[in-house]
Amino acid sequence: MAEGWQISSSSATKTLEAECLCGKVHLAFDVPVSQLPLRVYLCHCSKCRYGTGSLCIFHTLITREGPPSFLGDSTEADLTSYLAPGAKYSYDFCSTCGCHVAGVSQDRKIWTVASSIFKDHGPESFKIRLHVFSESAKGGGLSSVVNWVAGDAMKSWNPPADEPTARLVECEPETAADGTQRLRAECWCGGVSFTVPRPTREVVEDDYMSRFVSPLDARKWKAVLDSCDDCRRVTGTHVIGWAFVPLAVCDPAIGVDLSIGTAKTYASSEGVLRSFCRVCGATVFFSCERRRPTERQAVVDLAVGILRAPEGVMAEDWLTWRARPAHAASGRAFDADFSHALAGGMKAWTEERYGEAVEFDTM
């Protein structure tokens, strides 16, 4: 089915089509034209970050009338649902590639869908103008980067301070048995959990692994925002933050097969292996052969959304962020307005923190 227009006796509708990276989840929604463009909000709550691995999610309430149409061989059985204790909505993700698809009510009628997986995210179909739970992201997270889109200031909604949902999830600092500092990475359900240290002497003195140490501070790792199409369709978000870390420094040890706890892997292309939690759906790692001169030197992209940095979402005491988002051309082709806002916002964000628009290589 192609996206297009349909006319019924009651009203005109537009068919919006969505698909994850592996194609196992392929959906269509017939949306009344009168409801377009659909309003998209960026949720920064800890559940959305820990449950996707991204800095926030991009959601739009698209139907209250039950499941969408599943196209081709795709069925609702291709989704895994994670319902956290006490939650009213499940997080549904592709069982094969881990793409976050939607938040779904327990009666399966209300679908708040990840707008990032739609094939057409033009301004006629979707409109991003709102941050929600931005105060739940310590330090602001991506809400401190994206302040406007298409010339309009982003608005923010947060619950009253005395409501339980307004509680800021604080993260505690951790140390290893030898007293060295460690940073916890943990998905929403806790099935994937490990720590990374600051760059070690072995890393700093290694010709290859040292390339991923911050050029500004040898105690930190490099990090970037990434807008590539594959990452968008495998996370269900417009952009994901990656920190570059050698697998050899992770505790407990993680091999190049990315096996740890409840992690599941998906080979998204030749030489590329990704992992996500098979229980809650959080993206964990991106790995490619180009960053593996030897198994001991293998460097992976670690999803920043699952980091539990005490100082805040951007883990600024552990990471140095590049000003330029990766794969910006892909981002512009998908959603030009948001991509321009992200690029300009990240440049300003890095200049404010580092005194310059930091630039470095990541290969």
pLDDT band per the 50, 70, 90 thresholds, residue 10:
low
Q: Domain boundary at 131, 166, 201, which?
A: 166
Position 227 in a domain: yes
Of the two residues 348 and 9, the one the predictor is more confident about is: 348
Of the two residues 167 and 16, the one the predictor is more confident about is: 16
pLDDT higher than 90, residue 168: no
pLDDT of residue 1: 26
Residue 232 sits in a domain whose CATH number is 2.170.150.70
Containing structural domain, residue 183? 174-354
* Judgement on whether residues 269 and 206 belong to the same structural domain of the protein: yes
Name the strands in the sheet holding 57-63, side by side, starting at the edge strand that comes first in the sequence.
Answer: 79-82, 89-94, 100-105, 111-114, 57-63, 38-43, 126-132, 155-157
pLDDT higher than 70, residue 170: yes
pLDDT tens-digit readout, 33-80: 999 999 999 999 999 999 999 999 999 999 888 889 999 999 999 999
* Judgement on whether residues 162 and 216 belong to the same structural domain of the protein: no
* Judgement on whether residues 254 and 347 belong to the same structural domain of the protein: yes
**Of 134-148, 158-172, 195-209, 339-353, minimum mean pLDDT range:** 158-172
Domain count for the chain, please give it: 2
Q: Which long-range contacts (CB under 8 A, 24 or more apart) does 172-181 make?
A: 172/310, 173/310, 176/251
Q: How far is residue 43's CA from residue 156's CA, in Å, rounded to a whole number?
A: 10
Q: Domain boundary at 150, 166, 182, which?
A: 166
pLDDT tens-digit readout, 83-104: 998 889 999 999 999 999 999 9
pLDDT tens-digit readout, 345-357: 999 999 999 999 9
pLDDT of residue 224: 99
pLDDT tens-digit readout, 303-347: 999 999 999 999 999 999 999 999 999 999 999 999 999 999 999
- Asked whether the CA dihedral 265, 25, 105, 57 is positive or negative, the reply is positive
